Amino acid sequence: MALIDTFFARAFKRGTLHVTYADGSTKSFGTPDPDFPDIAIHFTDARAPGMIVRNPSLGVAEALIEGRVVIDRGDIMGLLTLATANNRWEAETGALMPSAAARSLTWVKRKIDQFNRTRVSRQNVKHHYDIGNDFYDLFLDADRQYSCAYFLDPDDETLEQAQLDKKAHIAAKLALKPGMRVLDIGCGWGGMALYLHEKYGVEVLGITLSDEQIRLANERAAAAGVADHVKFELMDYRHLTGTFDRIVSVGMFEHVGPPQYRTFFKKCRDLLTEDGVMLIHTIGRAGAPGVTDEFTARYIFPGGYIPALSEIAKGYEGLRYYMTDCEVLRLHYAYTLQAWYDRAMANKDRIVAMYDEAFFRMWTFYLAGSCVSFRYGGMVNYQLQFARNRHALPITRDYMLAEEQRIPGKA
């Protein structure tokens, strides 16, 4: 018990964590604070504290999923908020870090996982995206934008509006003209591709490795009567041929893996016309390179990795095209994930009926953990714009704002 008590005492200073151990003993950690949650938990298994001490993130996740830890007051979001708000990325307390041995093992395993050859990439995508379209309907917006929204007013804006604003924000950066050929790498359920065609009259090819996504995307294009102009194919980006005036990739780069960054950027350069422009929207690390945490790699995104900006730079440097713009979205994904979490919690009974209680706890832990990583941790979103030709875009950013405000029917 002493080790877990020491861990809790270091991790929780503001706000309170009340703990009931498996033997019935109780302790409280931290001090009451109106700005921090008040959480109560109890252990149903005497081995669970050791799991948490060895690897806090994975240990807490598995203990909650398996019912070894039960939250008596508050919820998963509150528990993770209490932990991460006390140990913000800027403060670098180290209180939530796994043991040295666990970190070393994770580093080796993740480096192997992130190589992401073509066959493995398909398997990894299916693990996450082919679990059922009906499930994603329960917490995403109606257009199924499964990526960071763009909140102009997080206190008074719906998720649906913020996702529309995200699409407009990205479209403005692409400097589109009617008739252009656009490639959407990692097209999801087709929302971005359909939006770009509707607003600009461009021809779009969207690619994904998800069977479920490609089926629904093609159904949506057919229902809208635009299947001749917006096409979707089940394809790895490495197998593409032809040229495109614009490339957009939203929420896909996290699945590429550092060993493939050079391959990705070289392929994209080859696919762009001489005046071509590319926009990548990706989660990123605010700090140095790292490794994917064990929980995410094991349960959510096998093969996935959140890149540092320095790692992205190594992927495109020397390939003779320009990074023409870089925007850092700091809190937008926290607001997005909070909305997803709230919707998932409101649909608990339906999610449990689809899967089971353990799946519901796993998924809400993922959403809550991701949310606090953007709110208090070192995660951000990058929007990175590239061009082959220095004359392909205006020389100031003013055109972006002007176009974003001009887009017809943005709202």
Residue 168: pLDDT band by 50, 70, 90 thresholds? very high
Residue 98 has pLDDT above 60, yes or no: no
Q: What are the pLDDT digits (tens) for 232-248?
A: 999 999 999 999 999 99
Tell me, yes or no, whether 150 and 289 share the same domain.
Answer: yes
Contact between 210 and 121 under an 8 Å Cβ cutoff? The reply is: no
Give the pLDDT band (50/70/90) at residue 194: very high
Q: Is residue 332 part of a domain?
A: yes
Residues 308 and 370 occupy one common structural domain: yes
Q: Phi then psi for 285, rounded to 5 degrees?
A: -90, 135
Beta strand 26-31 pairing with 15-20: antiparallel
How would residue 2 be classed by pLDDT, with cut points 50, 70 and 90?
confident
Q: Is the pLDDT of residue 34 over 60?
A: yes
Counted domains in the chain: 2
Task: Give the three-state DSSP class for 258.
Answer: helix
pLDDT bin (cut points 50, 70, 90) of residue 113 is low
Short-list 8, 6, 11, 2, CA closest to 95:
11
The pLDDT of residue 238: 96
- Does the residue 321 lie in any domain? yes
Last residue of a domain, one of 34, 69, 98: 98
* Count of C-beta atoms within a 10 Å radius of residue 91: 10
Q: Give the whole-number percent of the chain exceeding pLDDT 90.
A: 83
Contact (Cβ atoms closer than 8 angstroms) between residue 357 and residue 250: no
Nearest to 189 by CA among 228, 221, 236, 156: 221
pLDDT surpassing 80 at residue 193: yes
Say yes or no: 123 and 38 in one domain: no
Structural domain range at position 329:
115-406
Q: Does 136 share its domain with 85?
A: no
Question: How far is the C-alpha of 105 from the C-alpha of 96, rounded, in Å?
Answer: 17
Classify 178 as helix, strand or coil: coil
Considering the domain architecture, whether residues 92 and 127 belong to the same structural domain is answered as no
How confident is residue 132, by pLDDT bands cut at 50, 70 and 90? confident
Task: Give the residue from 98, 128, 157 where a domain finishes.
Answer: 98
- Domain identity same for 92 and 201: no
Q: What is the mean pLDDT of residues 361-381?
A: 97
Residue 25 in any domain: the answer is yes
- d(CA 346, CA 340) in angstroms, rounded, equals 10
Pairing of strands 181-185, 15-20: unpaired
CB 374 within 8 A of CB 335: no
140 with 47, same domain?
Answer: no
State yes or no: pLDDT of 164 exceeds 60.
yes
Instruction: Give the pLDDT band of residue 36 (cuts 50, 70, 90).
Output: very high
38-91 tens-digit pLDDT = 999 999 999 999 999 988 889 999 999 999 999 999 999 999 999 999 999 887
Ramachandran quadrant class, 234 (left: phi over 0; alpha: psi -120 to 50; beta: rest):
beta
- Looking up residue 25, the CATH number of its domain turns out to be 3.30.1050
Stated as kind and residue range, the H or E segment containing 9 is helix 2-11
Domain co-membership, 271 together with 374: yes
> Where residue 130 falls among pLDDT bands split at 50, 70, 90?
low
Instruction: List the end-to-end C-alpha distance of the chain, in Å, as a whole number.
Output: 55
- 256 located within any domain: yes
Task: Tell me how far CA of residue 189 lies from CA of 143, 144, 146, 235, in angstroms.
Answer: 8, 7, 9, 14
**104 lies in some domain:** no
